[in-house]
Amino acid sequence: MAEEGEDFGFSLEKPVEEGDTYEVEIIGEGKEGDGVAKVKNFVVFVPEANEGEKVKIEISEVRARSAVGKVLE
């Protein structure tokens, strides 16, 4: 049984918040065809972005283990 404060290899605290903006490089492609980037080692899915692109994004949704960012024009 886990003891209070035990480290399971992940943090419940998320390093991004809705509305944050970042310059990211798309490093891969997700199952649904979305671009994949990382911010502070946290996965961010970026619809309409392609691998190899460098884009400015705004975080639009934060999930338990990932986030979604939209490309800013």
Copy the structure tokens of residue 29.
Answer: 């492609």
The predicted structure's pLDDT at residue 16: 97
The predicted structure's pLDDT at residue 10: 56
Q: Tell me the pLDDT tens digit for each residue of 21-67.
A: 999 999 999 999 999 999 999 999 999 999 999 999 999 999 999 99
Copy the structure tokens of residue 44.
Answer: 């961010």
| DSSP structure class, residue 65 | S
Domain borders along the chain are 21-71
d(CA 57, CA 60): 9
Does the pLDDT value for residue 5 go beyond 70? no
What topology is assigned to 21-71 in CATH?
OB fold (Dihydrolipoamide Acetyltransferase, E2P) (2.40.50)
Within the chain, what is the greatest distance between any pair of CA atoms?
Answer: 49
pTM: 0.82
d(CA 29, CA 52): 10
Please state, rounded to an integer, the average pLDDT across all residues of the chain.
89
